[in-house]
Chain A
Amino acid sequence: MSGQNNRRAKGLAVFFLILPLVLFLISLSIGSYGISPRGLFKTVLSVVSPALHPDVPAAYRDILLRIRLPRVLLAMAVGAALSVSGASLQALFKNPLVNEYILGISSGAAFGAALSLVFLGRAFPPQVGGFVFAVVAVGAVLLISGKAESHFISLLLTGIIITAFFSALLSLVEFFASPYVLQALFFWLMGSLSLASWKDLYISLPLIAVGLVILYLLRWRLNVLSMSDEEARSLGVNVRREKMLVIAATTLITAAATAIVGIIGWLGFIVPHLVRMMFGADNRRVVPLSAAMGASIMMIADDIIRGLSSFEIPIGIFTSLVGIPIFLVLLKKTRKVWL
């Protein structure tokens, strides 16, 4: 890479790392009830000191604090979580096609969370059930396909079978759900941010943060883990222990995200690919930039859903419908090998 290309790549990386912060502020202004940037600023100040800004309508504070802030924070966290999870799993399994869905993590988490919502109600955190069954699902995939050393085809086939099994269990849960719960469940399963509440965030955000910090710290190690197991072992890595740590962290963040927003398709697959296309394969760059780009894409998608249509399309459907064509165009335009 020439010096000029290097500088351009660094500039682009800085842009993508700052982008989520800019989008965060823009996203707080967008919605069926528009708040101008000035209004947003005054509303934030009025939250800090209400006495100094009595002219700010109470509705602004309600919209900002109770509806938009949790929703935008959730979009950021889920986007970052799923993208980093995808990037880490692809490196770990030495295959760019792997994601949390293929490993059964998403369907396990969805089943666990649905089971919790239907039988224990919304008072009990669905993240617990989501995490437990996500662990069961990924554990079953790894165990049946030949533990963590498995060949990809065996892993893929086992993943498909386990995903189908948990999908069947999920249908069973839906069968027993009351019509009212079923409607909410149906919308949630398609991937939705509309149910975002502080209660969910208080549980999911710390879990996602813990998982992200672990994977961020392990980002260089992911390079070494992306070598064959024999090579990694010879390089001095405790392969089994470190693989389990990465799988635990990705399962944690996927379960924490899926439990409140349902299954968001393709994000964890597409974002790491986009990052590698632009910035190369080194996970020291791939992990943080996947987090930033995933958060940005989720916020943009949610802004479009909230701002452009009078009804809300579930974001899971939207990310799949928009993400796949964009990915295909980029794939065709970018002729160089990035994998």
Chain B
Amino acid sequence: MSIRVTNLAFAFPKFSLRVKELAFESAKVTAIVGPNGAGKTTFLKCVGAVLPTAKGCLFIDGRDIVSLKSQERARLVCYVPQEHDTTFNYTVSDFVLMGRAAYISPFALPSQEDSRAAAEALDFVGLTGYADRAISEISSGERRLVLIARALAQQSDILLMDEPTTFLDPKHEAEVLQLVKKLAAEKMKTILVTLHSLEMAVQHSDQMVFMKRGEVVAHGKSADVFQESLLESVYDMKMKIIDWEGRKIVLR
């Protein structure tokens, strides 16, 4: 499924987001990068209609996403938060099962089919053995994978992932991003992911969007748009890109 953004605007008291025109192709990974406060998360939440967005700005395959009912919208697009605040200590399987909410009436319980979908999602992220573990007893990296599993159980074609690798060690960071690529390739998911690591962003994405002060300053194919001059203007600091065994390393 493809996404089209047109004249999107959202304002907080001291910050405003303005995106004129942007399109995201089906089954591709788009990395959204930019300094802190650039509006990456706000943009993602607007696309997912998690924040109250005006009608006529966001379209999925031509359908205005804001006009859809919440259940219908959740079947198309899923926002994956950065981290889950564990107030109540659900088991991993109960947590992933919540991804099925869009398919279950408010007054009903999950069916066997819902449980099966949740188990499959857990299996896809490699955490089958964790089903009965409490969510507070697993590591931060594993919790990110559980959040992704919940999004998979939701079975929406578009995933909006908010900094899924923050605070992860390099190994887990690479694992999560490989999983993101696998989701686009094998499950045909259209993925928008906000990232701070520029090396990881260019390595694991098909397209990149650069944001600064609430606006998109550049976008395009990752290999084309990833240039020193752009990085320097976006981050206001001297940067150098080095090619190393086919990978790009940013010196700063």
Contact = CB atoms under 8 A, between A and B. Distances in A.
12 contacts: A94-B85, A94-B87, A96-B87, A227-B98, A230-B79, A231-B81, A234-B50, A234-B74, A238-B69, A242-B106, A280-B90, A282-B94
Given A223-B98, A337-B136, A236 B71 contact: yes
Interface string A230-252: 11111111110010010000000
Interface in B123-174: 132, 134, 136, 154
A228 B73 CA distance: 18
Given A233-B70, A236-B101, A282-B94, A1 B106 contact: no
B12 interface: no
B251 interface: no
A220 interface: yes
A223 B79 contact: no
A279 to B, nearest CB: 11
Interface string A80-94: 000000000001001
Residue of A233, A234, A239, A281 contacting most chain B CB atoms (<10 Å): A234
A228 B87 CA distance: 10
The 5 A-B pairs of least Cβ separation, nearest first, read A236-B102, A236-B74, A281-B88, A234-B79, A217-B107
Residue of B79, B90, B101 contacting most chain A CB atoms (<10 Å): B101
B102 A235 contact: yes
A220 B88 contact: no
Contacts of A234: 48, 50, 74, 78-79, 81
Contacts of B88: 91, 94, 96, 226, 276, 281, 339
Interface of B: 45, 48-50, 69-71, 73-75, 78-79, 81, 84-85, 87-91, 94, 98-99, 101-104, 106-110, 132, 134, 136, 154
Interface in A232-291: 232-239, 242, 245, 276, 280-282, 284
A236 B75 contact: yes
Contacts of B87: 94-96, 226, 339
A1 B98 contact: no
Nearest to A281: B88
B94 A235 contact: no
A30 B91 CA distance: 42
A224 interface: yes
Given A284-B109, A339-B89, A224 B132 contact: no
A218 interface: yes
Contact of A230 (B50, B89, B102, B134): B50
A71 to B, nearest CB: 33
A218 B75 CA distance: 21
Contacts of B101: 221, 224, 232, 235-237
Interface in A1-16: 1
Nearest to B88: A281
Given A234-B79, A238-B69, 10 more contacts: A91-B88, A218-B107, A223-B98, A224-B101, A233-B70, A235-B101, A237-B70, A280-B91, A281-B88, A282-B90
Contacts of B94: 223, 281-282
A338 interface: yes
Nearest to B114: A220
Given A220-B109, A227-B98, A337 B84 contact: no
Nearest to A230: B50
